[in-house]
Structure 1
Amino acid sequence: MSSQRRKAFTIEEKSAIICRLENGESNSRLAKEFGVGHSTISMIFKNKNRIKQSFNSNVLKPKRLRKSRQENVDQALIHWFKNMRNKGIPVSGPKLQEKANGFAARFGILDFNCSASWISRFKVRHNIVAEKIVGESSSVDQNSTTNWLISVWPNLRKQFSDDDIFNADETGLFYKLMPNKTLKFNCENCSGGKLSKDRITVMVAANMSGTAKKKLLIIGKSQKPRCFRSVKSLPVDYAINRKAWMTSELFEKWLRDRDRDLVKKKKKILLLVDNCPAHPNVTDLKSITLAFLPPNSTSVLQPMEQGIIRLLKMNFRKNLEMINCVDANENNSSTKITVLDAHLMVNDAWNKMSQSTIHNCFKQAGFIESHDGLEHEFDEEDDIPLSLWSRNLNSDSLAAPEMWEDYVDIDSALLTFEEPSDENIVQNISAKDQLESDGEEEVEEAPLPTAEEALKAAELLSRFVHSNIENDNLTIAMSSIHNSIKECYYNKMKKTKADKNHRLLTVKNTLVCVIMC
């Protein structure tokens, strides 16, 4: 009989074990280090998704994952609690009981009466301690942008290099909107409703030197869009919300995922974000120092709002108009843009953003002292007006120059988050199951190209590049793409041949058996 004692790990300890397993450490080594059996380590790894979810929610100390019988009430209450703490509003036990009963009534749960013991278990489940729910004062008033830059910013900056100071911000995007459709938006509120149906939210993040652009986070409405069915991987991170908005839960998950990556790289950064309900003050981050900009200072102090987001949209709409012109010339039909198309085009627009443009936007916001007397300046290639660029296409569907300015800015006021209310919290939780199972796009799905068609297209494109474009990097990249498609084609051919031989052998063996019988 084994002499090993049964050991219970906290969520935080289990998360660390999962991290080490994912980094390549063996089960046997960890089992020996912690004095447990191999099956214990295997069971922890088997439940990694639930453990990571609890860790992301700051549930660190409990040793078992216990769910509440009233799961909807539990989720609504923790959501409301976080909103209150983000605003610096003290919350007491009796207040939690009152809100829990209120949420139960909204969910139609008639036999629920919140007790003090239920609240005690709620606190344990979510790692809430007394200091966090009573008596904590709000942060210091920082309404003056100038005072913040003088008194707060220097202390933050001196701890980090320009390469390690990042800013992140969200923007809404009408990803199907063509320039000849923008007039109908005049004098209409584009913050919600029907006009927002074909929209996504994009989170952009980059460092102050412009040397590091983080992978985009795109928030859509559908868990499984039809256009994603045959996609192996996306160049961006994708999340869902029923209104395609950023939420505190999505932001916290994004933040903790980045934090874990930085821990592995043994790197620390400063992240500047604006002070909005979708950006909670996430605790226990190991490699990210989270700093909030003063309230109501986004238009002045947010680097992404100094031109980066606008240029991202301009580059995106250049891609959109190019596709529109090609389709109009070849098919005489309107363009059908899917969520996948939007992902690829937004990512391409982000990749085109130059280092100097990002750096100058931080300078424009006041984060970098300017010693050369220069004002806000973009990279020359970035700063081509969309109207001038489109005119060079010789498009037949060009709008007036002022129309193009409207086209770029049409979704600049589009909401990216909601001010949480009890009703919104209940609606979001009630809609969660439906959100994860439906919401597919109403866009006709184009048939996937075969390996042979892809190879012919790659050969054609490769000849065009070599004959018309003098760019060594592009030539090398094109050759790499061509070779990859060629390898895929031959692998599929070998598999098809092997399958055919297997079928013939099966038929042959069957005939032999029939004859012998």
Structure 2
Amino acid sequence: MSAPTLKPKRKTYPIETKKLVIKLKAEGKNNCAIGRQLNMSESTVRSILKNEEQILKMCDSYGSSSLDSRSYTSTNSKELIKMERFLVLWINRKESEGVDLDKMTIMDQAKSFYSLICKKHNVLPSGFKASTGWLYRFLERKGIRNLNMTGERNSADEIAAKEFPAILKGIIEDGGYHPDAVYNMDEAGLQYKRMLKTTFLAKNVKQARGRKTDKSRLTVLFCVNSTGTHKMKPLVVHSAKHPQCYNHLQDMKDAPVYWRSSKKAWINSTISQDWLLNCFVPDARRKCLQDGREFKVILTLDNCPAHPSFLDGLHPNVRVVFLPPNTTSLLQPLDQEIIACVKALYHKTVFRDFRRCTESNIEAQQMIEDDSDVDEPMEEEVNEDLLTVHEFWRKFTVKHAVDHLMKAWEGLNVATIRHGWLKLAPHLVPPITQPIQQSRDVLSAAVQEARLVPGTVLVTWLRTTS
């Protein structure tokens, strides 16, 4: 039995090559001679010549330098070409302003440009979705490079991760713990002035502009139970005992979070012990009394140095169970989308205020309206009524960060919490009836809020007069 033949990969040609085919035909050469000269099949030559009128018309209308190797036979090809030209110009502008661009930002802006162009020309949109495939082809055609910083992933012990859920189930059943009384605690660093980590550069730019990253940070300690019915008030660790932005409070006990301080804003064993006795125990006891249950709970956490072994046995009604080493990424509920969703919701609320304070959201409409010569240089006009990015971040305090953090924590739904427990204790999780919040989707919404935020000063781009 013969092996199946593979379908040959379709080859595309740049517009300059197609123009050369038309030129050689006009000089009197036959199709075979043209194909031999340009190393293409005769059928390809015939296809190009068949679309001769359309190719020349496109070159006259838009210039051959703006066209790529795609076929322009679709109904909305003119609108798509114009959209891509606007998009390239928009990327160049945002790079010059110092704005970080990621894939979702560019895809959203492409759809926005396309919709505005179709509306202006009274054309029914063809269903352009700005897919990931389109994005990669667009970036390749236009020579736009992607710079991205990726995180480091620790190796995980998959064997221990498979065995431990059964061990935990035995502990819960032997102790007679109620599903509402099984908790997980974990902490995460939050760079509360963090911008996007990925940026795209135009092909004529050698490297990203050197901007010093603001590393203002705090550590947040989260705790939830397995049914999602109890989200404890977060604990925030900051370098200051009583920040200036909280001068209106006589005591940090009145803050919306539990407040602790350390020199580098990290969790340590002292803070962990303090949190267990003075934050977790009172909250858990209150929840048990509200539900009419005996105060007897399990707290699961990882075995990092900030979680000393003596936490187990520190309180007679609290059983502390440590996860096996190197299983956090596989088992820990708060690491299964929960903290990621909270961070994404945080950035969404921050960028919503960011954009409201720094952007009038009229740039795209002006670019479409003033498209008589999109390749002309643009003038800058500063809007004095809106904040610059520098001014926004300068006025953005840790109090603002905590307020946005609490909005994000309150916005986390029960379904997402329950979904996070499926790997560690699936037998405790009630049915999930709500949609689960995916951190990727939430972050996409955050990007939509941030996509038009300028990087240095707010500018309104105006078309120059000839």
Structure with more strand by fraction = 2
- From the two aligned structures, give the one with the greater helix fraction: 1
**TM value normalised by structure 1:** 0.43
| Alignment TM-score, normalising by the size of structure 2 | 0.48
The structure number with the bigger radius of gyration is 2
